[in-house]
Structure 1
Amino acid sequence: MPYDPHTDAETTAGAAPHDPVTLPTGRAPGCPFDPAPGLDRLREELPLRRMTFPDGHVGWLATGHAEVRAILADPRFSSRYELMHYPFPGGPEGPFPPAPVGDMTGMDAPEHTRFRRLLMGKFTVRRMRLLTERVEQIAAEHLDAMERQGPGVDLVPVFAQPIPALMICELLGVPYADRETFHGYAVTIMSLDATPEERFAAMTGLEEYMRGLVVAKRAEPTDDLLGDLARDTDLTDEELTGVGGFLLAAGLDTTANMLAHGTFALLSNPAQAAALRAEPELAGQAVEELMRYLTIAHTSVKSALEDVELAGQVIRAGESVVLSLDAANRDPRKFADPDSLDLRRTAAGHLGFGHGIHQCLGQQLARVEMTVALPALLTRFPTLRLAVDAKDVPLRTDMNIYGVHSLPVTWDEV
């Protein structure tokens, strides 16, 4: 059934501040960069309030920046999938299974701590900055290809997807020639419309692919992240397979969508695009603001392990809390004029990469890729613009990572 983006806003419009609400989802027509309608009103009324989940569970919805940040940093809230209630309609019947081996997103300490410590040294700021030259080279190669092809391309497959795909493949030591295979698995796993059977098949396929790669790394370790982990850690084959699949899937989709959706936002705000062209040194600041403004990883769920008092409310043990990261990043108590894209803003404290022990492991690599690629694209093609009306750009409302399915662009040939 097609989703009506006004339905949830209407459902909650008449609710008293302390009545349970349902989670607003969807995007309002003509507002591809704004959170779901109704979230802003709920945040202003009560930034932590009761929510009814699709399975009937009555838990909580956090929409305020301070409240969301506090929950993300609090070890009394669990990230384990099997303790969560699914916030979106059409979810699985019954409880979630535990996180697959190696999926750190669904782990708590001490299991999470063990994996995180093994990987943190591989994703340091210094090590990621050393990759800047390689990102510049890859970006330039794809811009050259765009220029040769001429005006009228879909930016997603020709620019946004291949740059992070090449980088994560090189970092992990995964053959880039196999990218179509594992990218298909990653897309299915993150699709909100995929059936449980389709999602399970994709997870199994990705696991089998990584298992074969791990066997090869064990036999002959290579100078890359998977080779290092195979040689220098006590991870079992099963754990290394899980970690490899987790990093590969995460590294492919999120940055690709930030590059595409970020370009969409810049082209829709010509003055901001012009500022970045004129002052490439704004790139680092611009990336932080785009992460805040777009918040493509928009929703998270935690479950209370014990009773927790927060914002004048008591969250009981066993209750799930939906964290609306996109609403939190538009909280006027934290950011002035939050619904405006302002590349000169200091967006420190945004939750686009999450917060706490589960903050995005690859955030430094993502920053390098975006800081290099976005100014390079705008500078190479100063007349870059959408090739279709903004309302005709297909949005990824069917995915748990928001963005665009395609971005048709064009430019004036010199």
Structure 2
Amino acid sequence: MPTRVITAVRRRALRWALRHRESPVPDVTTLRKLPDAATFPIRRDGIHPVPELAASHRQGPVTHLTSLLGMDVWLVTGHAEAREVLADVGHCSNDMRHLLGERRRTAAEGIGGLGMTDPPEHTRLRGLLTPEFTKRRLARLAETIDATVEDCLDDLERRGPEVDLVPHFGFAVPFQVICDLLGLPDVDREAFHALGTARFDMSQGGAGAFGAATQSREFLIDAVARQRAEPEDGLIGELLREHGDDIDDVELGGLADGVFLGGYETSASMLAMGVHVLQQHPREWGLLRHGAPADVDAVCEELLRLLCPVQVAFPRFVKTGFELGGRDIAEGDVVVVSLAAANRDPSVVTDPDDFTLRGGRNRHLAFGHGLHRCVGAELARMELRAALTGLARRFPDLAPAPNADVVFRELSVVHSIDSMPVRLQAAA
């Protein structure tokens, strides 16, 4: 029997099971391993996507990636097609609760927050957060961010002359900023760092990622419950004071979880990988010290385009069939957008694998696009500018430590560097 017929039968059987619930519902949280052939969108060679990603794009902007749990999974690598599907709420859904099986779950094990909800629920939740992330509101954080950067730079100097930049700067800056923003008390940084890394680790399929997500949400749901009686200064307390009657602990914990995770893990990745790239580009490193604000912005935007730590967007689950990039996408299929590939689409960017400040390279999708575009994008930019300029000015001769290796993550939705020893000052 032809493969396409078998696939069609599998798909119809899955839809029937989901409608009638007389067969076990697929449970992605028990998935222990992804098909090896389907992992190349989240693999990299250093900072660059592996060659298979570009090869997929040469076949077309939309290609069949794999079949998983009876569903056809499509990979989008084209820039225009990525924007199209990320903005499409008519054909696509972000809600994956139909793939969580039938096992009874705790509140922390559920799916929610902004990334995995659809309108009108998404509209209501985003409406609570958006006013807190406007440029005007975020401007009040500038002084706090600068102070946090200076504290971390002081800590680096005390630890020098050689130090691992990842835990003591790349992670430390955004972690402290996001804790201050949310109004969280001191937490075990090492444990939360490990949880953040595990959250995006795909080496164990969905099982490890969902387990780490549950632990993170449990902490934040508890934090909301404690603050409901006595709100702290910060985002959680502010939302409780203004909207406490309209949102329960689980919903607000889910929102806080999204802000917390997106606010430190991705920013930590950008800082570590950004420094790694800039060590190989002394002119741009110098612009961080002496350039105008527009020069600094250009450096940061090109780093975001090139590095794009969030490698793929939240999966889209197809509600009604449609055409995308010349391919027929059917109801029940899954669409995965490679943000990293879209940012390097040669039809949009000349010499896409190069780090350069030539014009026309700021149309990137590092923060996503459309309804689910990262609500904290401007905060991330503020942190990146402040941290990189602070580091470049304090340690202009920063360089890789002798005989030290840079250790990259191997299979993670959020690509990053796990260890990067540096020498803070020029060798005597």
- Against the structure 1 CA distance between its residues 223 and 26, is the aligned structure 2 distance closer, same or farther, given a 3 Å change threshold? closer
Task: Determine the structure 2 residue equivalent to 1:87.
Answer: none
1:107 counterpart = 2:117: yes
2:262 matches 1:250: yes
Q: Which of 382, 387, 401 pairs up with 2:414?
A: 401
Q: Give per-residue Cα distances to partners, 1:292-347, cap 9 Å, x unaligned.
A: 10111011321221111223222111111121111110011111221111135443
User: Mean Cα displacement is larger for which, 98-107 or 114-123?
Assistant: 98-107
Contact 2:42–2:413 (CA under 8 A) maintained in structure 1: no
Q: Cα offset for 1:227? A: 0.5
Structure 1 runs not aligned, ≥5 long: 9-21, 85-91
Contact 1:43 1:63 in 2 (8 A): yes
Larger helix proportion, structure 1 or 2?
2
Indicate the residue corresponding to 1:306 in structure 2: 320
Give 1:401 deviation, angstroms: 0.5
Higher alpha-carbon deviation: 119-128 or 56-65 = 56-65
Distance 1:340 1:200, change over 3 A: closer
User: What residue is the counterpart of 1:341 in the other structure?
Assistant: 355
Contact 1:34–1:339 (CA under 8 A) maintained in structure 2: yes
Shift of 1:195: 7.0
Deviation at 1:223, TM superposition (A): 2.6
Normalised by the length of structure 1, the TM-score is 0.85
**Offset at 1:51?**
2.6
**In percent, how many aligned pairs have the same letter?**
37
Q: Which deviates more, 176-185 or 110-119?
A: 176-185
Q: Does 1:79 find its partner at 2:94? A: yes
Distance in 2, matches of 1:273 and 1:355, equals 29
SS in 1 for 2:47: coil
Match of 2:271 in 1: 259
Q: 1:101 to 1:230 in 2, by over 3 A?
A: farther
Q: 2:215 aligns with which of 188, 197, 205?
A: 205
Query: Equivalent residue for 1:14?
Result: none
3-state SS of paired residue (2:225): helix
Q: By how many angstroms is 1:264 displaced?
A: 0.8
Which residue in 1 is equivalent to 2:17?
none
Once the 2 structures are TM-superposed, how far is the Cα of residue 81 of structure 1 from its aligned partner?
A: 2.2
- Secondary structure at the counterpart of residue 202 of structure 2: coil
Mark the runs of 5 or more structure 2 residues left unpaired by the alignment: 1-32
Shift in Å, 1:27: 4.8
Encode CA deviations 1:55-93: one digit per residue, 9 max, x unaligned: 564332211100111100111211122467xxxxxxx99
Structure 1 pair 82/237, CA: closer, same or farther in 2 (3 Å)? closer
Aligned AA (1:398): L
Q: 2:113 is matched by which residue type in structure 1?
A: D
Contact conserved, 1:72 with 1:354, CA < 8 A, in 2?
yes
Distance in 1 (alpha carbons) for counterparts of 2:187 and 2:55: 47
Alignment deviations for residues 153-210 of structure 1 (CA, whole Å, 9 cap, x no partner)? 0001111111111111111110134433433333322222357665454334333322
Partner residue in 1 for 2:379: 365
- How far did 1:381 drift? 1.1
2:310 alignment partner, one of 297, 316, 330: 297
Q: Which amino acid aligns with 1:118?
A: L
- Give the whole-Å Cα distance in 2 for the aligned partners of 1:313 and 1:211: 42
| Matched AA of 2:134 | T
TM-score (norm 2): 0.82
Alignment of 1:40-55 (within 5 A): 40-55=54-69
Q: Kindly provide the amino acid, as one letter, of the partner of residue 238 in structure 1.
A: V
User: Which deviates the most, 130-139 or 185-194?
Assistant: 185-194
- 1:241 paired to 2:256: no
CA distance in 1, matches of 2:271, 2:68: 33
Amino acid at match of 1:179: R
Q: Describe the shift of the 1:220–1:94 C-alpha distance in structure 2 as closer, same or farther (beyond 3 A).
A: closer
State the match for 1:129 in structure 2. Answer: 139
Aligned with 1:35 (options 45, 49, 52): 49
Contact 2:398 2:422 in 1 (8 A): yes
